[in-house]
């Protein structure tokens, strides 16, 4: 993990992209574009959806993403090898990465303009799907790689090897290999651990494992993770970040490794990871017995 404080002089160069659905999204988009266009010292390039984001060699201080975490996933994948700092403005529901509301973005923009933010690098992964016929494809991702049984509704037998060493065979309904950023997404719902987003690690989480001994596993991001399944039901699917889906065949091999680039997330100094867990996920330690379970005196009926 690396953190760097923004610096620079001259115009504040912004690019803006957003999800496309709905009149409400378009209304918010127009108001934010209008707001930014009126700010002195701001140079703004407006794009459509993340698929239309083409920065090339254009210098950009921050890419503003209007939407939810899914829009951010599409944006960082579209940026590919030319990652830029991303700031999310939440128009979705949870918004774990897209933390600011539109009103908060407007309120705190002077701090952004003054370069009072940090850029934090986060682990991304490269997923290679090597087909049994010798063909292959490669994808860049941020959250997780999943193998799902699909409509077959049958138990999968998935072999896991790390750096070429066989580790275990999971009997499960599916398997997730997640980054720390993705540990609060699908992996969390399957019982995986919470990882600080700046760790250099992967977590392997089985979905409904049919044994008590296969628990989530955390290992180094410097390792190469290989998944194979000699027998697969029809419809078994590789899913990347919940957005890219590929049907799998027996003897296909999936390799996951640390990507050569990092996801760059712009954060204001008052951001707290654990505060976000409390606020967004309702996460906490001890129940608040002091305030919620205090015995009450019985009502006296006259």
260: which residues sit within 8 A by CB, 6+ positions away?
81, 126
Q: Which helix (H) or strand (E) holds 74?
A: helix 69-79
Give the three-class secondary structure for 117: coil
Residue 165 belongs to what H/E stretch?
strand 165-172
Give me the active site residues, please: 69
Token output for 235: 């419809």
Neighbours of 227 (CB within 10 A): 23
How many secondary structure helices (H) and strands (E) does the chain include?
Answer: 6, 17
Distance of alpha carbon 227 from alpha carbon 145, whole angstroms: 10
Query: Is residue 261 within 8 Å of 83, Cβ to Cβ?
Result: yes
User: Nearest-CA neighbor of 223 among 257, 174, 269?
Assistant: 257
């Amino acid at each position: 993990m690396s953190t760097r404080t923004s610096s620079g002089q001259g115009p504040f160069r912004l690019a803006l992209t957003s999800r496309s659905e709905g009149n409400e999204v378009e209304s918010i988009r127009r108001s934010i574009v209008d707001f930014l266009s009126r700010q002195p010292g701001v140079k703004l390039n407006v794009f459509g959806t993340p698929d239309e984001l083409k920065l090339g060699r254009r210098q950009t201080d921050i890419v503003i993403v209007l939407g939810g975490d899914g829009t951010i996933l599409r944006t960082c994948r579209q940026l590919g090898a030319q990652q830029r700092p991303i700031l999310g403005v939440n128009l979705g529901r949870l918004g774990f990465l897209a933390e600011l509301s539109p009103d908060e973005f407007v309120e705190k923009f002077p701090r952004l303009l003054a370069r009072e933010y940090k850029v934090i690098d986060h682990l991304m992964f490269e997923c290679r799907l090597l087909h049994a016929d010798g063909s292959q494809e490669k994808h860049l991702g941020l959250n997780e790689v999943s193998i799902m049984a699909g409509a077959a509704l049958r138990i999968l037998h998935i072999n896991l090897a790390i750096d070429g060493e066989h580790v275990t065979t999971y009997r499960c309904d599916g398997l997730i290999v997640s980054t720390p950023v993705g540990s609060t997404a699908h992996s969390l719902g399957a019982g995986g651990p919470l990882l600080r987003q700046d760790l250099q690690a992967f977590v392997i989480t089985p979905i409904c494992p049919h044994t008590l001994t296969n628990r989530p596993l955390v290992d180094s991001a410097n390792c190469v993770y290989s998944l194979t399944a000699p027998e697969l039901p029809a419809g078994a699917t590789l899913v990347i970040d919940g957005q890219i889906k590929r049907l799998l065949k027996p003897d296909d091999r999936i390799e996951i490794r640390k990507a050569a680039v990092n996801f760059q997330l712009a954060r204001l100094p008052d951001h707290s990871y654990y505060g976000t867990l409390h606020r967004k996920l309702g996460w906490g330690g001890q129940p608040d017995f002091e305030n919620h379970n205090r015995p009450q005196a019985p009502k006296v009926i006259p």
